[in-house]
Amino acid sequence: MSTCNPYGWSYDQPVYFGKHSVKTHDRRARGSFLTFLLITTGFTLVALCSNAQTSSDKGLKNYYKDFFPVGVAVSPEVLTGAERELIIKNFNSVTAENVMKIGRIHPEENRYNWEPADQIVAFGEANGMKVRGHTLCWHNQTPDWLFKDKDGKQVSKDILLQRLKEHITAVVTRYKGKIYAWDVVNEVIDDSASKYFRESLWYQICGEDFIAKAFQYAHEADPNALLFYNDYNTENPTKRKKIIELVNKLKANGVPIHGIGLQGHWSIFEPSETSLRESLKQFSALGMPIQITELDVSVYRSESGRREKMAEEPDEFTAEMEQLQLEQYKMFFKVLREFKSSISGITFWNVTDKRSWLDNFPVRGRKNYPLLFDQELKPKKAYWEVVKF
C-alpha cells in the first residue's frame, strides 16, 4: 500500500471520498499510521547507525568542558557554509587558519585587509567562543614588500624590525581584548640537528633578535594577551631540546612569553604514546601553559619535501586507515586528558575532511582524511572514541 519516499511519508495517502464507508476509512487510517510509525522508527535507527550527529550527542566541546576548550581553525567561508552549525555545536574556540597571516592581513606596506579577520573575530564573539590569533611572525605566507626597499634591495635590520613593530602593533591593537592568545612567533627552530635557527629572511636580516622583539611589541600592544611560541615536530627530541632552550632563554631575559603551542600535526603512525607523553612532560615542566594549536591526524607517512601526487597513487580512506586513526585519536586524547592541568586549549586545524590543508601538503592533490568529521560533516568513528571516556 505505501511507497516510501525520501521524506519518510507514504505517497499513497488515504482518499476521503464518499465512495468509501466510514469503516474502510478507519482501517486505512490505522494502516497508514502503523506504516508511518514503522518508517519513522526505521529512519531513526538508520540515522543512529550511520553516526549522524544526533541530539543525544553533546558536541565535542561539552564532553571536554572539565578539561580544556576545544577549538578549530576556520576561514570566513566555513562560517557561512554548511559547516556553520557543526562549528557552533562542537567548538568553543576559533583560530583564523590564514586570514591573519601577514600576507593576507597586511598585503602591502600601507594597506591592511581587515575584513576577513574581523568576520572570524565577530563570529567567535557572537557565539561566546575564545578567539586565538595566528600568527604575527612567520617565514611563510609573508609578503615580499616586508624585506625590500623601494628599489627592490633587501632592507636593513632596523627597518625590518620597525616594520615588524608597526605590523604587530596595528594587528594586536585592533583585536585588543577580543583575541585572548596570540601565536606570536611561528616555527623559527630548524628541523635539522646541524642548525639551530631556521635560515629565514627574518633570521638572515635580524639574527635571533626579532624573536624577542616580536613578543615585546605584542605585549606592548595588549598587555593582557597570552603570548605563545608555536612550532611543529615537537615530539622530535632534537628539535624539542632546541625549542625548550629558546623558551628558557626568552624567559630568563624577561621576554613576555606565556605559553607554548605544540602544533600537533600528527599521523596514524606517529607519535607513539611514549613519545607524546615524554614530550608533554618536558614542555609542562617549563611551568607555562601548553596548547595543542593545530591538531590533525594524517593518514599518510610524513615526507620532508613537497611534491605532486603521482597519477596511480591511491588516496582512498581505507578501513585500515580508519582503524589506525581511531586508535591514534583515542590514545592522543587519553594522554591529553592526563595533562589537563598543563594544557589550556586544543585546536583542530580545519573543520571536516571535506577540506584540509593536508589535501595539498606535502603532496599536492592527494586527498587526506585527518579530522574527526567526514566529508558529509558526520562524526567519524574516531570522534566516538574521543568522546568516550
Neighbours of 203 (CB within 10 A): 18
Distance CA 299, CA 369 (A): 6
Pick 68 or 232: Cβ nearer ligand HAH? 232
Q: How many Å apart are CA 329 and CA 271, to the nearest integer?
A: 11
Amino acid at residue number 143: P
Q: Does 213 bind ligand HAH (CB under 6 A)?
A: no
CA distance 292 to 85: 23
357 binds ligand HAH (CB under 6 A): yes
Closest distance between ligand HAH and the C-beta of residue 349, in Å?
A: 6
Q: How many whole angstroms separate alpha carbon 125 and alpha carbon 93?
A: 10
Residues 22-81 close enough to bind ligand HAH by CB under 6 A: none
Question: 61, 63, 97, 145: which one contacts ligand HAH (CB under 6 A)?
Answer: 97
Where in 183-212 is the site for ligand HAH (CB under 6 A)? 186
Considering 83, 187, 235, 385, which one is annotated as catalytic?
187
Of 61, 130, 265, 380, which one interacts with ligand HAH (CB under 6 A)? Answer: 265
Question: Which CB sits closer to ligand HAH, 179 or 326?
Answer: 179
Answer yes or no: are the C-beta atoms of 184 and 133 closer than 8 Å. Answer: no
**Residues 56, 207: Cα–Cα separation, whole Å:** 54
Say how far residue 242 (Cα) sits from the centre of its chain: 25
Task: Indicate whether 300 belongs to the interface with ligand HAH (CB under 6 A).
Answer: no
**For residue 53, what are the contacts with CB-CB under 8 A and spacing of at least 6?**
59, 86, 89, 378, 379
How far apart CA 223 and CA 188 sit, in angstroms, is 23
CB-closest chain residue to ligand HAH: 232
- Least distance to ligand HAH, CB of residue 185, Å: 11
Q: Compute the least distance from the CB of residue 203 to ligand HAH, in Å.
A: 16
According to CB under 6 A, which residues from 327 to 346 bind ligand HAH? none
As measured in angstroms, the least distance from the Cβ of 265 to ligand HAH is 6
Question: If binding means CB under 6 A, how many residues of this protein chain bind ligand HAH?
Answer: 8
CA distance 84 to 87: 5
Catalytic residue among 83, 97, 294, 385: 294
For 137, phi then psi, to 5°, come to -150, 115
Q: How far apart are CA 143 and CA 138, in angstroms?
A: 11
Q: Smallest distance from the beta carbon of 314 to ligand HAH, in angstroms? A: 23
- The H-or-E segment that residue 345 falls in is strand 343-348
Report the residue number, 295 or 326, with the smaller CB distance to ligand HAH.
295
Residue 232 binds to ligand HAH (criterion: CB under 6 A): yes
CB 342 within 8 A of CB 70: no
Coil/strand/helix, residue 142? coil
Concerning whether 77 is annotated as a catalytic residue, the answer is: no
Minimum gap (Å) between residue 155 Cβ and ligand HAH? 24
Residue 182 lies near ligand HAH (rule: CB under 6 A): no
Looking at beta carbons only, is 97 or 385 nearer to ligand HAH?
A: 97
Whether 108 sits among the annotated catalytic residues: the reply is no
Residue with Cβ nearer ligand HAH (261 or 379): 261
**CB within 8 A of 20, min separation 6: which ones?**
28
Catalytic residues: 187, 294
User: Which residues sit at the interface with ligand HAH, rule CB under 6 A?
Assistant: 97, 140, 186, 232, 263, 265, 294, 357
